Amino acid sequence: MKKTRIGFFDFTGCEGCQLTVLNLEQDLLEILELVELVEFREVMSEQAGHLDIAFVEGSVCRQQDREQLKKIRQRTDILVALGACADNGGVNALGSDRGPELMCQQVYASHLPHLQTDPPQALSEVVPVDYRVPGCPIDGHEFLAVLQALLLKRQPDLPTFAVCVECKLAEYPCSFDHGEICLGPVTRAGCRAICIDGGDRCRGCRGLIENPRTSPYHRLLEEHGLTVDDILDQYRTFNIGEQKSES
Amino acid sequence: MKIELNHITRIEGHAHLVVDRKQGEIKDCRLEIVESPRFFEAMLKGRHFSDVAPIVARVCGVCSISHTLASLMATEQALGVEPDAKARLLRRLLSFGEIMQSHLLQLYFMAVPDYLGISSIFQLLDSRRELVARALRLKRTANRICEVIGGRPIHPVTTTIGGFSVMPYVSDLKHLRQELVAALPDLEATVELFAGFDFPEFERETEYICLSDPGHYPLHANRFCSSSGLNAAVTDYKKEVEEYLTGYSTAKFARTARGSYMVGPLARFKNNFPRLSPMARKVASALTIDADTINPYHSLKARLVEVVNYVEESIHTIDELLLHGLNGTKPRAVPTGGGQGTAAVEAPRGLLFHSYTYDRNGLLDTADCVIPTAQNLANIETDLKAILPELLDRSDQELTRRLEMLIRSYDPCLSCSTHLLKIDLV
Amino acid sequence: MPLEPIFPEQNQNSLWRPVQPAEILRFVHSLLQAYEVVGAQRKRGRIILDQLQDAADLLLEFPPAVHSPKKFLFPNWDQLFRFKLDNNILLEAETTTPPRIIFGMHPCDLHAVKILDDCLFEGETDSAYRAKREATLLVGVDCTPDEYCFCTSLGTDRIAHGFDLFLHRRDGHYLIQSGSERGKQLLYNHAPEVVADAAEAPLPLQIKQCSTRLKFPAETLPALMENAYDDPVWKRLGKDCLGCGSCTLLCPSCYCFNVQDKLEVNLKEGQRIRTWDSCQFDQFAKVSDGENFRSSQSDRQRHRFYRKYKYLWDQHQRTACVGCGRCSRECLSHIEPTEVLNQMFADNLQPERPSAPGIEYQPQMAEIIARKKLSPEDLLFRLRLPEKFTFTPGSFIQISVFGLGEAPFSIASAPDGGREIDLVIRKAGALTQALHRARKGDMIGIRGPFGSGYSIDKMLGQDLLLVAGGRGLIALRSLLLSLLARRRDFGRITLLCAARSIDSMLFREDLLDWHRSGEMDCRFAVNEEENEWGIPSGDISYLFKDLEINSQRTIAAVSGPPGMYRHINPLLFRMGLHDENIYLNLERHMKCGLGKCGKCRINNVCVCECGPIFPYSSIKHLAEAIER
């Protein structure tokens, strides 16, 4: 049976998500038994034609990136956004609210056109994206699960519940008990609450769950002394924004 | 005729190589860094000090730990926080892990294919599976250090102002030590592999700059030095190093008063040869490299020497930590007031500076980072221009291959070097 | 079903032995050689339940751990079976759970295991759970509740069965009790020195005091929930709840789960596993076409409460919530079950009185404002009524506990035109046991006053002879306090008071006061031989010896157990008292209090209407009145 052809691509990002794939070590060897790795610029010189699955990391910032992405979309059956930058702009979009400064930069950059960029975009703003592996960086196990689902021609299942679940299952101390603001209650689980395990708080790098309970959550943040601006600012670190829906 | 090599493979980040030659003459040769700039400095402005290191880590996936530590140290200096001896040891161990995994990635995945005449290490899965497995095993051990101390190798979670928010478990450190010792046979095999490679003969002396730490192979220090007599405090880096923009690169270049210079494993190796660990020195002689070398391709050998050096240092550091004991997490000090701080670390690719100013409320006002690769870019171009004459008679394919190998020997990290942009109107 | 008694019957085969902490440490150390031992440990400032590596890490005194023993008995990520995907599908059966001991289960946790047993053994027995139950030994330990626990409200603060061993706390040491043969074997094999001598009969078990509680008897809950489906409290919960699922994940009796397949990386083999799920997740009740059968967070929270306090209660006749407080301890929105339920109770029992049919059977709510122990079995309650209350001494009222019913009690205080009355409640059946668990501030139902009491007018200017046998003193106290309130309107007052023992005598302080006041003559007798008051040993008839009364102007009021009248009446006649001047307190089984139900009749006379205080002249012709 012909092996599934997969490839890795990247735009503007830190390449940490692709590195996470390489860090799968022994599991990577097993994966390579099942798939054919046909393109992965960071560690391979080969280039391929048609692909079955393309994993794309990074945000899109310039016209040449957009064109490049469209070409990738054309030569692959399935396109998966790999990591927060590809999924929703991630940390790249952190400066996008700095209107005047950024514009100022762009004014100067007109003297150096090669330095001009547009506000960073998620892949889905340019081409249709089939699936995602969220996080900054992605979780290696989640990547394997998504890949596995695609190999089995199944829909990949991301958790629909919040990081709080993983914290409670693992009995971690709650950040709020230490007076820290945590985005766990509205952020998608799947990372095994690794940041809380490490003594840090959740900054929402995996994006919001489908139906975040924003109203009681904002009330909780206000209880801890945050203003409305503070709360919006929390969402900005990884550009997870605000969703309107609420049950 | 022009040779354009777009999106050079097997390096971190995106760059184009352009060579324009005409009838035996080089008209132009340049390395275009096309990685998109990301304006981290603008992004950090106004952020609370507790958010700065996690955001700045995202500049680079391979050296996120170096950025994190440099950032924390600069912030600590600005706000007047002093990490204790245990925290400093843990940070050293964390850096060892990062540098090891970065070097091993580069050596096995990016460089080895060139010396075996293949296009990627995965081509060896059938014929030399053991080699691929060994590469992954060694990388696993290095990553394990980062996991145990930092929580995960990419974008660590336990690192914080003043030290670490969670201490590693004693049992994990003991297992790690066993793993490091067990890695020695794999390292021997790696040394034998590289000892058998034919490294191109090319020499060009330049200035070699790195941190200086009396008695130690440098890692985290507050002075830096060079092979040309430079000796300064890290806080004075702006007086010694100048960054500038070119018309075709999205990354900044750097120079001292004397011209372009090199940072990285070869610079560290040359400037600190007597301070290498015993095992590392054995490896150096097995690889026939010593402190006098001025062949940039020997950076690869220096990288391998450093891997072994850091393995040995990691074992000693773990022993020291276990003697210290790991009880109690450090209470989180909340510094008040603002300030200015500058710190430097030896990242895998060389000297990394972070410099910040904070306002009274602990919010970041200005940030400046000088990236190792950015410091090397001028040197890379100079090397390319110097090596080209000897390659003029080669085929296009051979020419580009040799130039790529040269670029790869520097292990450039281009995501880092295009992290931020400060444009001065000229 | 009655809740756990305070004094569980001593298991005839139980071993009891005092143990010192050092002996427990050695015991655990020995157990670790043979078993996986799970216990409470401190980790990063939390009390967690985990496998023990070192006996010294085990905690024996701790508030509820984050997770309950469900973590091990019904674990998250439980393999149901393995499979291989070759040409033939090969199913491999799950291997047995390793022998394990959970060392340190609080009574609430042990109750929760019973609930899980009820639910998971019902119908098709859950074999994976049963295998773990059989492979796991349970060692209980007593606890001190914290501010989130409310086990006392549910009776789950103590347990008599369901463990293999139990450690009761004493000062500085423990009392270990075996609860099964397996438990005994564990002691024989791993703590041989502990079994060496058997101890004497155990002391009473520790009784807990929880600051958080239900302000009404827990047995009322199913009835309360029956009417509360549309209560506004669910909407409020829905607004506050973050949907994080912590409550259900940590609840020791929640077990809803998902079943999914996990393949290995090589795609050749895998497992079918079950993982904890939660009715609080928005995807829990969703079906494939997108329809969500419980789409609002209010619906989801309501479902949780109904599971715990109604559905499972209806099914198994016991609470499915054990009052461990884990849900409220971890809730970021501060949702607490006791608050919700107390609010619901208050919402549903307004003192408004519609003129609906049956209104005369509807009680009003009275607040318990004081509670005092009178004897090992009797409690004095002072109630504050919603309105001013007029009655005559000797009347009775009906007390309601919703879900258990109503019972009649004599009023023990005198009518003073106010809103407060005293009652004496002896612990006998389910209702009085429930009342004994009530605390100051609780609300109970009250209906009345019923019955016809003593006619004080007829006593004006006369001498009074009060004869109180045992609990008969209760009604007589009401009369006596009324008399003493206007002492000068009456002649000599003599009180003859007899009881089984000093301890069982009610109102001892009052008796002493009256005795010392000089306003009346008090004579006491007890059955027990020697007593600390130095009063004669004997029964009530003994007190008539050398009694001097003026039979022409004495009115007698006799109140005591039914058998007493047979002996006392002749004494009174011999003293020359007239029939119409002897008042008896004849209590029967009063139910409706309204002369309708028929249960309290003496021949053709209805006690609740015409009594219970009768002048002898009006009942002497009734054959059923006095026991012959």
Listed as own residue / partner, the contacts of C121-130 with beta carbons closer than 8 Å and 24 or more positions apart are C128/C78, C128/C80, C128/C94, C128/C274, C129/C73, C129/C74
Query: What tokens appear for B205 in the block?
Result: 């002396």
- The answer, yes or no, to whether residue C228 has pLDDT greater than 60, is yes
Q: What confidence tens digit (pLDDT) does each residue in B281-309 have?
A: 999 999 999 999 999 999 999 999 999 99
Q: Quick one: closest CA in A to B42, which residue?
A: A95
Strand partners, C444: C366
Q: How far apart are CA C622 and CA C628, in angstroms?
A: 12
Q: Are A198 and B105 inside 8 Å of each other by CB?
A: no
Q: Does C270 touch chain A (CB under 8 A)?
A: no
Has residue C353 got a pLDDT over 50? no
**pLDDT, tens only, C162-194:** 999 999 888 788 888 888 999 989 988 898 887
Q: Is the Cα dihedral B312, B313, B314, B315 positive or negative?
A: positive
Cross-chain CB nearest to B105 (options A17, A22, A32): A22
Q: Which residues, including other chains, have CB under 8 Å from residue C231's CB and lie 6 or more apart?
A: C344, C347, C348
The alpha-carbon radius of gyration of chain B (Å, integer) is 21
Q: What are the residue boundaries of the structural domains of chain A, listed by start?
A: 4-151, 163-246
* Each residue's pLDDT tens digit, C14-26: 778 888 899 999 9
For the cut 60, the answer to whether the pLDDT of residue C7 exceeds it is no
Task: Say how far apart CA C280 and CA C294 lie, in whole Å.
Answer: 9
**A110 close to B (CB below 8 A):** no
Residue C266 to residue C283: CA distance in whole angstroms: 30
Collect all residues of chain B within an 8 Å Cβ-Cβ radius of residue A61: 36
Q: Given this model, what pLDDT does residue B351 score?
A: 94
Q: What is residue A186's three-state secondary structure? A: helix
Q: Which of A168, A211, A217 to mutate to test the interface with C (most CBs of C within 10 A)?
A: A168
The rounded distance, in Å, linking the Cα atoms of C40 and C599 is: 56
Q: Token pair for residue C548?
A: 């001097």
What residues of chain A, 2 to 31, have a C-beta less than 8 Å from chain B?
Answer: 11-20, 22-23, 25-26, 28-29
Contact criterion met (CB < 8 Å) for C297 and A213: yes
Separation of alpha carbons C506 and C471, rounded Å: 7
**Candidates 3.40.50.300, 3.40.1390.10, 3.40.50.700, 3.30.910.10; correct CATH number of A4-151?**
3.40.50.700
Instruction: Name residue C364's amino acid.
Output: Q
Minimal Cβ distance to A217: which of C242, C265, C330: C242
For residue range C540-597, list pLDDT tens digits in order: 888 888 888 888 999 999 999 888 888 888 889 888 999 899 999 988 888 888 887 8
Parallel, antiparallel or unpaired: strands C36-43 and C46-51: antiparallel
Q: Does B117 touch chain A (CB under 8 A)?
A: no
Distance CA B74, CA B351 (A): 14
Cβ <8 Å between B36 and A41? no
Average pLDDT over residues B60-79: 94
Q: pLDDT of B149-167, one tens digit each?
A: 999 999 999 999 989 999 9
Distance from CA of A247 to the nearest CA of B (A): 31
Is residue C439 over pLDDT 50? yes
Token pair of C463 as six digits: 């001498």
CA distance A171 to chain C (A): 6
Complete DSSP assignment for B168-179: PPHHHHHHHHHH
Token pair of B341 as six digits: 């701080």
Nearest-Å Rg of the Cα atoms of chain C is: 31
The residues near B411 (Cβ < 8 Å, ≥ 6 apart) are B11, B12, B102, B106, B110, B264, B299, B303, B348, B349
Q: How far is the C-alpha of A81 from the C-alpha of C306, rounded, in Å?
A: 42
Q: What is the ipTM of this complex?
A: 0.90
Which residue bears the tokens 């580069």?
Answer: B106
Tell me the two tokens of residue C203.
């002391």
Average pLDDT score over residue span C391-419: 89
| Chain C residues with CB-CB distance to A161 below 8 A | 244-245, 278, 281, 283
Is it the case that residue B16 has pLDDT exceeding 90?
no
Q: Does residue B396 carry a pLDDT above 90?
A: no
Cβ within 8 Å of residue C33, ≥6 positions away: none
Spatial CA neighbour of C298 closest among C367, C373, C248, C229? C229
Residue A99: is its pLDDT beyond 70? no
Strand partners, A6: A37, A53
CB pair distance less than 8 Å for A194 and B155: no
Helix axes B129-150, B170-182, angle to 10 degrees: 160
Chains in contact with chain C (at least 3 beta-carbon pairs closer than 8 A): A
Structure confidence by residue, pLDDT tens digits, A204-214: 999 999 889 99
**Phi and psi angles of residue B105, each rounded to the nearest 5 degrees, phi first:** -60, -50
Point out which residues pair with C558 in neighbouring strands: C467, C584
Q: How confident is residue C351, by pLDDT bands cut at 50, 70 and 90? A: very low
Task: Determine the Cα–Cα distance for residues B240 and C487; give it in Å rounded to an integer.
Answer: 109
Sign (positive or negative) of CA dihedral C405, C410, C412, C417: positive
Looking at residue B9, its amino acid is T
Kindly state the DSSP code that residue C337 receives in the 8-state scheme.
Answer: H
Q: Once rounded to an integer, what is the mean pLDDT over residues B193-197?
A: 94
Q: Is the peptide bond before C145 cis (omega within 30 degrees of 0)?
A: no
Query: Which residues on A lie below 8 Å from C296 (Cβ)?
Result: 247
H or E element at residue B27: strand B25-33
Closest CA to A186 of A144, A235, A139, A149: A235
Is the model's pLDDT at C350 over the cut of 70? no
Q: Å from A36 to nearest chain B CA?
A: 10
The residue in chain A having the minimum alpha-carbon distance to the alpha carbon of residue B11 is A42
Could you tell me which residues come within 8 angstroms of residue B397 by beta carbon, excluding any fewer than 6 positions away?
Answer: none
Q: What are C87-139's pLDDT values in tens digits?
A: 666 655 555 678 899 999 999 999 999 999 999 988 888 888 988 998 899 99
Flag the least confident range among C45-54, C311-320, C385-394.
C311-320
pLDDT digits (tens, 9 = 90+) for B206-239: 999 999 999 899 999 999 999 999 999 999 998 9
The reply to whether residue A43 touches residue B109, judged by beta carbons under 8 angstroms, is: yes
- Across chain A, mean pLDDT equals 86
Write out C94-148 in H/E/C secondary structure.
CCCCCCEEEEEECHHHHHHHHHHHHHHHCCCCCHHHHHHHHHEEEEEECCCCCCC
**Where do we find the tokens 């463990």?**
C163
Across A130-147, average pLDDT:
95
Q: Other C-beta atoms within 10 Å of B298: how many?
A: 24
Residue C11 has pLDDT above 70, yes or no: no
Cβ contact C41:C58 at 8 Å: yes
Q: Is C245 on the interface with A (CB under 8 A)?
A: yes
How many angstroms away from the CA of C140 is the closest CA of chain A?
22
A137: cis peptide before it, omega within 30°? yes
* Closest residue in chain A to residue B143, using alpha carbons only: A23
Confidence of residue A103 (pLDDT cuts 50, 70, 90): very low
CA-to-CA distance for B382 and C4, rounded, in angstroms?
88
B402 vs A64, B114, B399, CA distance in Å? 28, 9, 5
- Considering only CB atoms, B140 lies closest to which of A25, A65, A102, namely A25
Whole-angstrom distance, CA of residue B348 vs CA of residue B368? 19
Residue C93 has a pLDDT of 57
Report the distance separating Cα C66 and Cα C56, nearest Å. 20
Distance CA C308, CA C467 (A): 51
CA angle C209–C210–C216, rounded 5-degree value: 105
Q: What is the number of helices (H) and of strands (E) in chain C?
A: 20, 25
Q: Over the range C268-306, which residues count as b (16 or more CB within 10 Å of their CB) and which as e?
A: eebbebbebbbbbbbebeeeeeeeeebeebbbbbbbbbb
Across the range C502-526, mean pLDDT stands at 89
B158 and A237 in contact by Cβ < 8 A?
no
Token duo for residue C126: 């859950």
- Predicted confidence at residue C205, as pLDDT, reads 61
**Is residue B6's pLDDT more than 90?**
no
CATH 3.40.50.300 fits domain B2-416: no
Helix (H) or strand (E) holding C235: helix C233-240
Q: What percent of chain C has pLDDT over 90?
A: 41
Q: Residue A14 and residue B152: Cβ atoms within 8 Å? A: no
According to the model, what pLDDT value does residue C360 have?
A: 76
Residue ranges per domain, chain B? 2-416
What subunits make at least 3 CB pairs under 8 angstroms with A? B, C
